[in-house]
A = this chain, B = another copy of it.
Amino acid sequence: MIAEILSVGTELLLGQITNTDAQYIARELSVFGINQYYQATVGDNMGRFKACLDQAWQRSDIVITTGGLGPTMDDLTKEGVAEYLGLPLEEHAESRQRLESFFASLGRTMTPNNLKQVQFPVGARILRNDHGTAPGAIVEKDGKAIIILPGPPNELLPMFETGVKPYLMERSGEEIHSRVLRFYGIGESALEDRLQDLIKAQQNPTIAPYAGYGEVTLRLTAKVQSGENAMAMLDDVEKQVVGRVGEFLYGYDDDSLASVVVQTMTQQGQTLSVAESCTGGMIADRLISVPGASAVFLGGYVCYHNDAKMRDLGVSGQTIVQYGAVSEQCAREMAEGVRKRTGSDYGLAVTGIAGPDGGTAEKPVGLVYIALASPQGTKVRETHQTRDRQRIRMMSAMTAIDMVRMALK
């Protein structure tokens, strides 16, 4: 089966928005094993839209359009599809009711142009839009299909998930189930290297590695006939993967290092406090972004300034003079100091040189000390990060949070 994505919108041709819709759909289609040879983008122009639609229809089985479903004159996707396939437009009663209720709930009068959004080519299957006013549609003809989706990603993604995936499964007679495994502490090429034979031999489930910021993920995808046990197939591949690189696996699907730490600590009844110099609040921010962090997080100190290190964490002036604020000794005193001050089980501290200035031959930009104080004593790691200030800070924050995760094991 061959599919083609046709993105509609002058704002794409003007570069006003990034076409993340096309990436999302392309990835989902490739997971289904549906081939894609071309993608096209066209503006809000009926003649050019129909020319692109014709080309896509000729060379594929499924055409997926994005955008051009709104209430204005510029929105022409459904009109173009109807003209191209020679189908009249008709109003979809249920969609009209939903639209009217929506306006009523806002206490606003619906202008007549809004009704354009509930007109569809005759015979279309309607895809409900739970996040906007314009429903999508699937129009079939001659064994081929045009899938019409709205442009805004927050409307398109859920519609694809709940409306298009089931259609593709139904059409192919197959179900697709995915699981994302998340790894930290191993690079993409090293991970691929250790799994090379598995990745090469993969057929079903498939194994797809992606490199994220400071982490690597593997997406396992099983394609099964309806009724078959996809979970068992995913479990089996996961077991093989874990046999090779299990020590780096930290979570699944939407997990993050911070969410895993907060959840594990909550389960274990442990608490944490943080003292940050160069990361400057980034670690606290990541932990507190996890709902329920209040059960775990007893306090954070952004002690970028040496006075703050001494005043709030009890770092000795002697240590700063003798070893410097960026030193193993200072990191240790910060971690032990913050643990003592807040009475938390764990005290995490980071001090380093984020640049662009402040580096020396002996202590270059990117040198970062991370310390973790716990009932088992204090550990300090010397790390070296590269590139710009922001990356040095982010990689340090991740490394620090991971140090807590490892200590909880």
Contact = CB atoms under 8 A, between A and B. Distances in A.
Contact of A303 (B299, B307, B357): B299
A285 interface: yes
Contact of A288 (B18, B292, B304, B311): B304
A354 B303 CA distance: 25
A298 B308 contact: yes
Nearest to A397: B285
B356 A291 contact: yes
A30 B42 contact: no
A341 B302 CA distance: 13
Given A12-B26, A36-B43, A280-B288, 15 more contacts: A13-B39, A14-B26, A14-B36, A15-B28, A19-B19, A38-B48, A39-B40, A276-B281, A281-B281, A297-B304, A299-B311, A300-B301, A300-B302, A300-B303, A301-B302
Interface of A: 12-20, 22-30, 36-43, 45, 48, 52, 210, 274, 276, 278-285, 287-289, 291-294, 297-305, 307-308, 311-312, 341-342, 355-357, 389-390, 393
Which A-B residue pairs are the 8 nearest by beta carbons?
A15-B27, A300-B302, A280-B288, A281-B284, A281-B281, A15-B26, A39-B41, A281-B285
A23 B15 contact: yes
Given A14-B27, A280-B289, A289-B393, A294 B298 contact: no
A289 B293 CA distance: 24
B52 A43 contact: no
A294 B22 CA distance: 43
A149 to B, nearest CB: 15
Contacts of A281: 276, 280-285, 288, 300, 302
A48 B37 contact: yes
12 contacts: A13-B36, A13-B39, A14-B36, A15-B26, A36-B43, A38-B41, A39-B40, A274-B302, A291-B356, A297-B302, A299-B301, A301-B312
A29 B25 CA distance: 26
Nearest to A355: B291
Nearest to A31: B15
B23 A17 contact: yes
